Chain A
Amino acid sequence: MGSDVKLRVQGIEKSFPGVKALDKVNFAVRKGTVHALCGENGAGKSTLMKIINGIYKPDAGEIYVDENPVKIKDPIMARSLGIAMIAQELNFVPEMSVEENLFLGRLPADGMGRVNWREVRQKTEELLKNEGLPYKPTEKLKMLTTSDIQMLEIMKAISNDASIVVMDEPTSSITQKEVELLFKKIDILKAKGCAIVYISHKMDEVFRIADDITVFRDGTVVKSMRAEETNIDEVIALMVGRKMENVYPKEDLEIGEPLLEVKDLKSGQLFEDVTFHVNRGEIVGFAGLVGAGRTETMRCLFGLDPIDGGTVKVSGKEINIKKVSDATGAGMVMLSEDRRRYGIIPMRSVKENASLSALEKFFYGGRHHKQEEVDVVKKYFDKMSVKTPTLETPIKSLSGGNQQKVLLAKWMMRDPDVLILDEPTRGIDVGAKFEIYKLMTETAKAGKAVVMVSSELPELIGMCDRIYVMCEGHIAGELKRDEFSQEAIMMYATGTHNIIQD
């Protein structure tokens, strides 16, 4: 507890009606260091961060900044104490320009309330230049990609002269290159003496940048330790309260005949000549950088975007895919990468969300068979260990991992032959990830075909039988299990493979 502690919380307690979200939490962040918080969803990390950011008030306990006790009433006060928070969910106005978004809520103005746009422009240009971001201040946010926007969000938060920066899953939707940029930025902040709280489910990141690690479970701190004195296995074991024997429940299965065959698939400028197949009992991965055409390919296969050419065969039968029901009719289902946009109907119940793709099972004979719906939904929720207070709870009030499991339950209800998963584990906790991996294995075991698009190489390598690597709208390479390595995948993904061969 030397003078190098920037932020310290002591004995923090927070209850919501009927449950203790945080119980006597102590933890401290040192100046010029990165302190990673690990824990499953609902372990209390976000609640604590919300308390530090003044969104919630603690029931008991003290917060010290520079060893001075402070009472943080609201986010404005948090900001004035030098606390900046990068939220997991992106907050931006799509119709506004980069500069307007950057200065949203803090536009410099004179006494008459007139905005000093010159200053805004100048500061924005300076910031963009310093951070090496290649956009114009006048560009509208809706023209940028998700990862660009997340980068901006990060820059916005740390441009405030913050001395305490809280980052909640900052890398969930940015590219590898930008992750490097972010880490460089973090190094600069560290050198300036900033204290950084870093929340992430990605263990490799945590171990790359963290100086200290604190593990949360069930609202309490399980252990705080120096990063160099621990390892990934220990942290995961502490998080889940048991030893994770095998992160990837991969089984060697007998591979059957081809189930999904795609030949020369093409769509506009997005991708072309995409040829691949998936056999029964096989889990096939799609690797590649963001924008390589993986998601685009799957969307076309599933009838969400138009196909310009090529053929698709399921079980040897050619199918003509124009809309989603053509794909589902042929036994395909797809879990979309963007849960909030293409997945959930936020205000409707978990039950309705789960049964949405199999309505004909519950609505027949001219009426709604309520009990059958409840029974089937319950069965699948049990199978997938979905945790929900009631079947009538709106899906928006569930955690990300549980929402994802509800959506998986929705698709499994169709008993699909081909299961396409696009970034199925993005932003969800270790426990939920494991459930999803298990489901993939079970599906393959049942003689079905599984396709997994993922940007996390370890999970592709851990779960797949074969991996196709896409680069700039083409399939750049195909790797068998004995050829798997992060290096090999990245070589194809970045297009350097050809260069080396040439």
Chain B
Amino acid sequence: MKNGKTSQLMQKYSIFFVLLVMIIASTMMNPSFMSTRNMTNIAVQLAVATILAYGEMVLIVSGLLDLSAGAVLALAGVLSVSVYKSTGNMAMAFAVAIGVSVVFNMINALFVANFGLPAFIVTLATQMAARGLALLYTSGQNILQIGDYAFWGQGKIAGFLPVPVIFMIVATIIISYIMNQTRLGRSFYAIGGNEEAANASGINVIKSKYMAFLINGILVGIAGVLFMARVNAGLPNGAVGYEMEGLTAAIVGGTSFSGGIGTTSGTLIGSFIIGCLNNIMNLQGVDSYIQQVVKGIIIVGAVLYDVRFKNKKAPKVILKKKDEEEKKDDAPKAEAGA
């Protein structure tokens, strides 16, 4: 029993270790990396990406994914900004953002869960539709002068805690709770791991898929508000490719692209790895084109490390233990027949 737990912890630590090395290296390269101001900066920048990453993690674990997150975020965001501008009611602005995003995710769920289309194709289509609608609604113009709306992206609580970071923390707690403490979380892992077996075990596969998209919808809607508030405008062309940032964080954080494996903590760390990487390269004044190349290399490196660790080291332990067990097999079996 102990051995399994250690190897599990080591798997978790493998990715945590990468982050730790990065933080130490970054601090050595540039002492201001560890400053409170810079750390706050990173956290604010990361908040939206992390919230999106949670949505992607939930979906990927369930054997799904969402390519429309960035576009739906933009549509939800501009509608929310526009509602706020005409009513001044922030609750309504949140409700609109979340509502729009949830509707799009329910459309995704309908085609994926009920009609059996691949999530990749469906969400690619909704990505185009959502982006188009955002541009159509705003006639391609940015919505400026959004007033107090900006507080939700730039404001601080108690003078030091940035609002988006609070959202990120709350999202972390709730997603972690869903994945670990609820039947729903278990059914996500089950349907992503083997949909037919989950169904044959009495798991409601269709409902679980709807719930995964619902969770993603709520997260994307909230991210829409935070994003627009942070950039201080309603950008119909904003957040392009953000779904990829989310996907990357989830994957770097150990989420298996083939489904059934992934954790909230891993995703959080994955998101921080990418965030720290961006930040230190900016601090060091690395050319932004080179930054992209470095990011690509780091992503492959992190995943390769993860995969090799899981595929090479872990099974050895299991194999050994398994054979030991099988060696012991005979005694109980003999009793069984006697």
A positions within 8 Å CB-CB of B: 16-19, 21, 40-42, 217-219, 240-242, 244-245, 302, 304, 323-325, 328, 334, 336, 341-348, 352, 355-357, 359-360, 363, 366-368, 385, 387-394, 397-399, 410, 431, 434-435, 438
Instruction: Give the complex CA separation of A83 and B63 in angstroms.
Output: 40
Q: List 29 A-B contacts (CB under 8 A).
A: A19-B320, A42-B326, A218-B327, A218-B330, A304-B199, A324-B203, A328-B202, A336-B200, A341-B194, A342-B196, A343-B197, A344-B194, A345-B190, A347-B260, A356-B190, A356-B201, A356-B203, A359-B183, A366-B181, A389-B3, A389-B318, A389-B321, A389-B322, A390-B1, A393-B318, A397-B315, A399-B322, A434-B333, A434-B337
Q: Contact between B190 and A244 (Cβ–Cβ < 8 Å)?
A: no
B182: interface (CB < 8 Å): yes
CB within 8 Å of A: which of B47-83? Answer: none
Q: Which residue of B lies closest to A43 (CB)?
A: B326
With A16-B319, A325-B202, A356-B203 in contact, do A241 and B196 touch (Cβ < 8 Å)? no
Q: Contact between A431 and B3 (Cβ–Cβ < 8 Å)?
A: no
B199-217 CB mask vs A (1 if < 8 Å, else 0) is: 1111110000000000000
Partner of B201, one of A217, A324, A385: A324
Q: Contact between A345 and B329 (Cβ–Cβ < 8 Å)?
A: no
Instruction: Give the complex CA separation of A84 and B2 in angstroms.
Output: 41
Q: Contact between A242 and B338 (Cβ–Cβ < 8 Å)?
A: yes
Q: Contact between B186 and A367 (Cβ–Cβ < 8 Å)?
A: no
Q: Contacts A342-B197, A344-B194, A393-B322 given; 7 further ones with Cβ under 8 A?
A: A217-B330, A345-B198, A346-B194, A359-B186, A385-B336, A390-B4, A398-B322
Instruction: Give the complex CA separation of A16 and B328 in angstroms.
Output: 15
Interface of B, helix, strand, loop or mixed by DSSP = helix
Q: Contact between A343 and B200 (Cβ–Cβ < 8 Å)?
A: yes
Q: Which A residues touch B199, using CB under 8 A?
A: 304, 324
Q: Which B residues touch A334, using CB under 8 A?
A: 200
B287: interface (CB < 8 Å): no
Q: Which B residues touch A16, using CB under 8 A?
A: 319-320, 323
Q: Contact between B182 and A363 (Cβ–Cβ < 8 Å)?
A: yes
Q: Contact between B4 and A392 (Cβ–Cβ < 8 Å)?
A: yes
Q: Which A residues touch B322, using CB under 8 A?
A: 389, 393, 397-399
Q: Contact between A325 and B204 (Cβ–Cβ < 8 Å)?
A: yes
Q: Which B residues touch A397, using CB under 8 A?
A: 315, 318-319, 322
Q: Contact between B324 and A19 (Cβ–Cβ < 8 Å)?
A: yes
B32: interface (CB < 8 Å): no
Q: Which residue of A lies closest to B184 (CB)?
A: A363
* A334 CB to nearest B CB, Å: 7
Q: Which residue of B lies closest to A242 (CB)?
A: B334
Q: Contact between B4 and A391 (Cβ–Cβ < 8 Å)?
A: yes
Q: Contact between B320 and A356 (Cβ–Cβ < 8 Å)?
A: no
B291-319 CB mask vs A (1 if < 8 Å, else 0) is: 00000000000000000000000011011
With A244-B337, A360-B183 in contact, do A346 and B321 touch (Cβ < 8 Å)? no
Q: Which B residues touch A368, using CB under 8 A?
A: 180-182
Q: Which A residues touch B196, using CB under 8 A?
A: 341-342
Partner of B200, one of A19, A324, A393, A431: A324
* B188 CB to nearest A CB, Å: 11
Q: Contact between A387 and B4 (Cβ–Cβ < 8 Å)?
A: no
Q: Which A residues touch B337, using CB under 8 A?
A: 240, 242, 244-245, 434
Partner of B260, one of A17, A345, A366: A345
Q: Which A residues touch B181, using CB under 8 A?
A: 363, 366-368
Closest 5 CB pairs of A and B: A390-B4, A389-B321, A42-B326, A345-B193, A392-B4
Q: Contact between A356 and B198 (Cβ–Cβ < 8 Å)?
A: yes
Q: Which B residues touch A325, using CB under 8 A?
A: 202, 204
Instruction: Give the complex CA separation of A70 and B324 in angstroms.
Output: 30
* A194 CB to nearest B CB, Å: 31
B149: interface (CB < 8 Å): no
B256: interface (CB < 8 Å): yes
Instruction: Give the complex CA separation of A242 and B330 in angstroms.
Output: 10
Q: Which residue of A lies closest to B256 (CB)?
A: A347
Q: Contact between B326 and A344 (Cβ–Cβ < 8 Å)?
A: no
B84: interface (CB < 8 Å): no
Q: Which A residues touch B334, using CB under 8 A?
A: 240-242
Q: Which B residues touch A323, using CB under 8 A?
A: 204
* B146 CB to nearest A CB, Å: 38
Instruction: Give the complex CA separation of A366 and B183 in angstroms.
Output: 10
* A337 CB to nearest B CB, Å: 11
Instruction: Give the complex CA separation of A218 and B325 in angstroms.
Output: 11
